[in-house]
Structures are given as C-alpha cells and as structure tokens.
Amino acid sequence: MTDPKTPKDAEIPPTPNAPAGVGELPMPAIQKRKRWAPSLVWLIPLVAAAIGLTLVAKAVLERGPTVTVNFKTAEGLEAGKTKVKYKDVDIGIVKHIDLSDDLTHVRVTIDLTENAKRFAAKDTRWWVVRPRIAGGNVSGLTTLLSGAFIGADAGKSKESQSSFVGLEVPPVVSSGQPGKPYVLHARDLGSLDIGSPVYFRHIQVGQVEAYTLDPDGQGVTLRVFVQSPYDQYVGSNTRFWHASGINLRLDASGFQVNTQSLASVVIGGIAFQAPEDRGGGVVAKANAVFTLAADEDAAMKQPDTRAVDVILNFQQSLRGLTVGAPVDFRGITMGEVKAIGVEFDRAAQRINMPVTIQIYPDRLRKRDAKHPLPTEDRENRQLLDVLVSRGLRAQLRTGNLLTGQLYVALDFFPKAPPAKAQIQGDETLILPTVPNTLDQLQLQIADIATKLDKVPFDSIGQNLDASLRKLDATLASAQGLFKQLDSEIAPEARATLGEARKSFGAAERTLAEDAPVQQDVRQAMQELTRTLRSLNVLAEYLQQHPEALLRGKTKDQQ
C-alpha cells in the first residue's frame, strides 16, 4: 500500500536479506471513475413530493378567504368539525374557536372555500343553526342528529371585510327573496315575535324580521318584510295595526268577533290595509316608515293635525266613564277623554268632577274651499261662544247597556239655562254641562218621594177617626129624637118618620167602626202610607244604583 505522501512514481526498495522474488508487490490496476447514474428507487419519493406539492398548490389556490364571526356562545360548535352551510351546501369549516379579550363573546375563525368568496361581503349575515321555536315556526330539527352548524346568507355589498357579528336568531327572510322591508313604530310589542305573520285581507303576505327597543324607551321599532307581489299594495295611505288575539265588539250592528287567523290568536300578527274611501296612494318604497296602531279602528281613524284640550265640570257621578272614552257629536267621534279628576270649588262651595277631553276641530271643518271654518284661535273662540249661546252643552250618556260604560256627548240643548264658555289660566277652554236624562229622572223621583214623605198621613188618619166618632154620637142623638117624635107626632107622620129612621139606620151601619166602608178607608190609608214609603226606598236605591233601571236588580244587590 502506498503512502499518500509518497510520489506516484516512487519505487518501494527491496527488503534486505529477503529471498529472491520476495518483497516485490504487483502494481494495482487503476481505472477512471465513472459518472453517477440515478437509481429507480429514488423515483418513488420524487413522485410523492411532486404530488404533495401539487396538493398544496391546489389547496392554496382553492382556499377561500378566512373570516372571523363573533357569537355570544360557542354552544354546539367544535373546531375542525363544525361546517358552514348555505342552502345545505358546505362552503367552509370552523378552524378555530377562542374567547374574546373581555370574555363577553367568542371568536369563531372560519375557512371558506374558493367558491364562497362572495360571503366575505360586508353585509353577509351569520348565525348558528340549532333547534328553535319562534313565531310559530319550528326550525333546525335536523341538527338533533347531525349537530349544529353555521348558516350564512351572502350579502350584496361590493365591500369586503373579515370580521362579522353573528346573529342570535336566524333571519326570517333571505337576501334573495323578492319583496320589500318596511319599518313600523309601535307603543309596545304586544304578543309579536320574530316570524309573526303579516296579513293583507286575511292572507299571509309577510313576516316580522326583527324588533328593537327605541333609544328613549318610549316605544318599539319593528322591521317587517312583505313578499312580492303583495308589496305593491303597501302605499302612502296604508295603515298597519296589531292583529293579535280576538277583537270583540258590541255595537248597534250586534255582537262582532274579528280575528285574522287561528295562528294570530296564539302567536300574534300584523295586518295592513288602506281606507276604502282614500285608496292605497303611491306605492311605498323599501324601508318606508309607518305607525303600528293598537287595533283596526284606531288605524282607520282620520289623521288629525292638532288637538284642543277642553275641561267639563260635571255635578254627578262619573262611574262608568274611563280614560279613552269617546267624545261624540251626533254620531261623529270628535275626540276622547284624556283625564278624570275631582276638585273643590271654594268660590261656589261645592265639589266639581272635572273631565278633560281632547277634541280635534278639523273633524268638523267644512269641506268647502269657498266657506272654510276659521283656523285662528280667536275666531274659534268666537265661534264657540256663539254655539254655546245657542245651547251647545256636554252631557254624559250611556254607551253600553250591558257594561254601563259612559261617553261624553256634545249636543245642542235649546232649553238649557244660559251659560258661557270660560277660559282657564293656561288658555284651556271650559264648556258648560247638563245632567243626563237618567240623573234628571232620579232627581224627580227623589223630589216626589221627599214631598210625599212630608205629608202627615198619621195625623190625617187620627183626625178622620175622631170625625167618625163624632158622627156616631150625632147619629145616636138623632135616633133618640126619632123615638121621642114617634110617640108624640100624629099617626099620619109615623110613616114618614119610619122611612127617615131607616135612612139614618143605614147611615149608622155604614159609619160604624166595624162597617166595611170604614175598614176599606182605613186599609186604603194604610196601603197609601206603605206605597209612599216604598217610593222613598226606591228613590234612594236608584240614586245609589242608576244602572238598575236598565239591567234590573242583580243578586249581589238584593
């Protein structure tokens, strides 16, 4: 073996004292190094690497945007398993779930597919699909077996974003459904809920999408959706009202029951329609704002521009009169009762029952451009003075015989005592009043009973009894006289005296204490006394229970 430091051409010296032929090694055969040729074994990892790179490139190219959705809770969600669906088609999967920094909500990171890029639009909506019951509809029952998933509704905005706030309740209407949304302002929500139906002429044409409490806390704002083609019936004159429950009404036409459907009785609903005499008007645009009335009657009332407060001082019981009772003028509703109170009038030394009503003068305005009614306050007061001088008065009347409810009627009473309209310190009008017919009848009955009660029937009976006794004594004296004359007068006069004796005897029998006539007179006087006492009791009872004249005496009052 050669030393690497030895030159290639150096010879190895022979070993001393070595036998001949020993010590001489043969020279190795040196061959040139050949080029390296790849083995087929290396093709397998190369192909695997190529396939892996291809899959990675495909995944990167097919990968859609990554978005983050904030929910209040992650109930039913699981990273790596929970899917995101649109119309039951997978468009992504939940990649990661973590808590927010303030621990008020959870952040759900979603990897969308390449064909779901539109779901990164700014107005896209996200929600968790779970089993729920709302507005009479049951949804999400399939998740009982497959588990919860995230639903999405693609937005139409051209702007994109990566962070969203998820909905706690699934939207009732998808973004692609034809129709128009509208905004309603109501005093309270009533029995409405998300998904409650919207009716037009008893046909369901939409649903309630959402509702929120107004910032000032004085009302509720609702968002409803009316499907196409029914949205064409929503115009500038359309009125919306609560159609929840059952509307019972008893009026001159009889007993009426109004309801939209059996579903609205349980879950509530909204109805809309335009007044028959005015039409729907111009078709309303999307997101138009309307007022949601409490019922159909309130919705169909003529809109009023201004209201005037008027005080009515009554001198009678206000039982049966409630706030909100109508103010009527010959069948036309002029307003409603605003407040009811009681106060002591020191000047007149009496107790007044003031009733504040709110009337709308525009409801009486003449629809004649050539001769319109005055609009200025001064002209209105002058007109009011003229009407009061002609007998305009306010009166309480019974509006319902069954319930005994009262309403305020404005009418002309030509025979009413003269009066004038007054103005209070804050320029509030005070109109004169008259008692109603029932109160006048009660006063008259009470006056008659009082006068009858003052008649001394006991004294009259005693005087009559004394007079009858004196008459008996006179008859006895006359009978003695007849006996004396019978023995002294001539025989020819005896026949005449006999007839006279018979007449006086009949009179004596008639006026005797046990005679039927005298007993009948005494019984008649006693019956008259009892009748007068009953009238007195009746007058007192009617004064306390005036409704008994119409409904009779109830068991509780007996």
Hey, what's the torsion of the CAs at 241, 247, 253, 254, to 10 degrees? 180
CA distance 198 to 264: 9
| Residue-level pLDDT at 470 | 77
| Residue-level pLDDT at 299 | 81
**Which pTM does this prediction carry?**
0.51
CA distance 243 to 197: 9
- CB-facing half-sphere around the CA of 111: CA atoms within 13 A: 12
CA distances from 362 to 303, 324, 339, 370 (A): 10, 19, 22, 16
CA distance 211 to 194: 7
| Residue-level pLDDT at 494 | 61
pLDDT beneath 50: ranges in the chain:
1-10, 250-255, 366-369
CA distance 83 to 128: 10
Q: Which residues of 460-490 are buried (b: 16+ CB within 10 A; e: fewer)?
A: ebeeeeeebeeeeeebeeeeeeeeeeeeeee
| Residue-level pLDDT at 162 | 86
CA distance 477 to 250: 78
> Per the omega criterion (within 30 degrees of 0), is the bond before 7 cis?
no
| Residue-level pLDDT at 1 | 43
- Alpha helix stretches (DSSP H) within 185-269: 262-267
H or E stretch including 70? strand 63-71
What is the DSSP secondary-structure string of 338-356? EEE--EEETTTTEEEEEEE
CA distance 362 to 334: 9
Placement of tokens 């990566």 in the chain: 162
CA distance 71 to 54: 36
CA distance 435 to 452: 24
Query: What is the 3-state secondary structure of 483-497?
Result: HHHHHHCCHHHHHHH
Say whether 87 sits in a helix, a strand or coil: coil
| Residue-level pLDDT at 2 | 45
What is the DSSP secondary-structure string of 391-411? TEEEEEEES-TTT--EEEEEE
